[in-house]
Structure 1
Amino acid sequence: MKKSQAVQLIQELSNANGVSGFETEVVRILQHATADFTIQRLDAIKNLYLEKKNNLSEGPVVLFDAHSDEVGFMIQAIKENGLLRFLPLGGWVPNTISAQKVRIRNREGTYLPGVVTSRPPHFMTPEERQRPLTIADLTIDIGATSKEEVIETYKIDLGAPVIPDVTCCYNEQTDLFLGKAFDCRIGCACLVDVMEELKEETLPFKLVATVTAQEEVGERGALIAAKQVNPDLAIVFEGCPADDTAETPEMIQSAMGKGPMLRYFDVSMITNPEFQEYALEIAKIHKIPVQVSVRSGGGTNGMAITQVQGAPTIVVGIPVRYAHTPHCYVDFQDYQAAKELVIQLIKNLDADKIQALVQPLSKE
């Protein structure tokens, strides 16, 4: 994929509306982007399955995965004064939500603007100024003055999805993107880019990709997809939290601009050591910048995939500054390094190597 095409795809995916459970817009973009070189199908939860054309009909199965959903909110209640109470979909820090512009989908499918309320300091008591903010303290204002107006005029009901109202921008001089939802739209774009680059390759295994729903609320789509695909090996594309502005120097393990991050451990999985070693060796041979990490938190679709039949799985994380906030940075050079790493991993794989990774203790 040409750089201009990749930039356009990343921006389009970042701008798309797609909180957990409402990923249709993202799926449509990906279907269009991969129509020429994949065989596609959808399931009921909105997982998108992409099988490489001219695949082997049998043999080992290698899975690519990225999740389509983004963190957002859902309308929980409508107050008599027209303000909307909401719940988070995915992990949010309340301080990053207050005073942000959002989009709310009404029953006709139109996204309407709103703003997350913030209490002006003029009306706050000293105790309120000191008390930590919670999501329960916040509401969304769409300009209505009554509950009836919200329902009848704006046509907003309970259960309506809400996303940050942010437009992605790209700086050609710095190669940086600033936008929302790079966890995991940057991973989705990279998956598509790699699949396109491999479309003419004759591979000694089946290559299947899944773009899975509802990762941010518990890896639900990936668990279903992994059972369908039953992979022998898996590579998860992710937009991982960059830590270079948050950690002390010795703890920085996913800095923006230093290549993709490959984790040994997070709270959801221990990465298969042999597969991790293979990936790092490929990166070294091809002089691809990578970072390694041991995470005290986090979690990815890798957990769901490994729980199906224990398929060796690595997570290729593209660092995202300020993940799970409305405004995030991504470096295109990290995207390119992640793309090149996965391409080289695939080109150097064969059935024997897959077998050695799947059964590392087998005798020759």
Structure 2
Amino acid sequence: MSSAKSPSGFEDETVAVIKEFCSGWADVKMNSLMDALIYPKDFSGMKPALMLDAHGDEVGSMVRSIHSNETMGFVEFERFSPHVLAGQDVYVRTTEGQWVLAVIGVKLSHFMSEAERASGTEELILDLRCHLEGRGCRVLPYGHGRAVRAGDTVCL
């Protein structure tokens, strides 16, 4: 379950893992709050029920914009320090439903306007063309990012 990629509001992969695990001995139903309710097939109601409350989602974000150089702006679902996220490998879900690796980067100062430099804030970006592999960097060809659209999900 911990390998399922399921940012907040997109817990489908986690639920699929739960359904597969429970097949044969329990039924899994979802409610409108994305809660997975597990009903053992042999449950008669004569014994007490037990509730296990846990989160099935993880840290995530959503693609906000795609720039001409195939870097992307994104919106965080939760708020994290940019120092924690910069350099982090992430997964971006393409419109075809495939997960591709990207890396969170920081906009370089020579690409910033005077106002951006003066503000002292750093804009985080997603770079789909390059992600860390051990100590190296693998560069994907241009056009690889065309399968990603604004609104697609991103997970750590």
Change beyond 3 A, Cα 1:59–1:138 = same
Assess if the C-alpha contact under 8 Å between 1:74 and 1:159 holds in 2.
yes
Change beyond 3 A, Cα 1:157–1:21 = same
From 72, 83, 97, the equivalent of 2:71 is 83
Tell me how far apart the structure 1 counterparts of residues 28 and 108 of structure 2 sit (CA, whole Å).
50
Letter in 2 for 1:55: F
Tell me how far apart the structure 1 counterparts of residues 19 and 42 of structure 2 sit (CA, whole Å).
18
Q: Report SS of the residue matched to 1:16.
A: coil
From 110, 117, 125, the equivalent of 2:105 is 117
Assess if the C-alpha contact under 8 Å between 1:77 and 1:84 holds in 2.
yes
Shift, 1:27, TM fit: 1.0
Assess if the C-alpha contact under 8 Å between 1:18 and 1:70 holds in 2.
yes
Tell me how far apart the structure 2 counterparts of residues 123 and 39 of structure 1 sit (CA, whole Å).
54
Corresponding residue of 1:99: 87
Question: Paired residues, what number?
Answer: 143
Tell me how far apart the structure 1 counterparts of residues 73 and 111 of structure 2 sit (CA, whole Å).
20
Letter in 2 for 1:155: A
Letter in 2 for 1:65: D
Q: Report SS of the residue matched to 2:14.
A: helix
Corresponding residue of 2:29: 41
Tell me how far apart the structure 2 counterparts of residues 80 and 159 of structure 1 sit (CA, whole Å).
17
Corresponding residue of 1:29: 17
The structure where helix makes up a greater share of residues is 1
Letter in 2 for 1:163: C
Residue identity over aligned pairs, in percent, reads 25
**Structure 1 position 139 matched with structure 2 position 125:** yes
Assess if the C-alpha contact under 8 Å between 2:65 and 2:74 holds in 1.
yes
| RMSD of Structure 2 on Structure 1 (CA) | 3.3
Tell me how far apart the structure 2 counterparts of residues 57 and 15 of structure 1 sit (CA, whole Å).
33
The structure where strand makes up a greater share of residues is 2
Tell me how far apart the structure 2 counterparts of residues 123 and 159 of structure 1 sit (CA, whole Å).
25
Shift, 1:61, TM fit: 5.1
What CA deviation, in whole Å up to 9, does each residue of 1:307-363 have, x standing for no partner? xxxxxxxxxxxxxxxxxxxxxxxxxxxxxxxxxxxxxxxxxxxxxxxxxxxxxxxxx
Larger Rg: 1
Q: How does 1:140-159 map to 2 (within 5 A)?
A: 140-143=126-129, 149=143, 154-159=146-151
Tell me how far apart the structure 2 counterparts of residues 154 and 87 of structure 1 sit (CA, whole Å).
19
Q: What are structure 1's unaligned runs of at least 5 residues?
A: 1-12, 165-364
Q: Report SS of the residue matched to 1:63.
A: coil
Tell me how far apart the structure 1 counterparts of residues 146 and 104 of structure 2 sit (CA, whole Å).
17
What CA deviation, in whole Å up to 9, does each residue of 1:90-147 have, x standing for no partner? 232221111111111111001112111135689899x95x9354xxx11111129xxx
Change beyond 3 A, Cα 1:87–1:28 = same
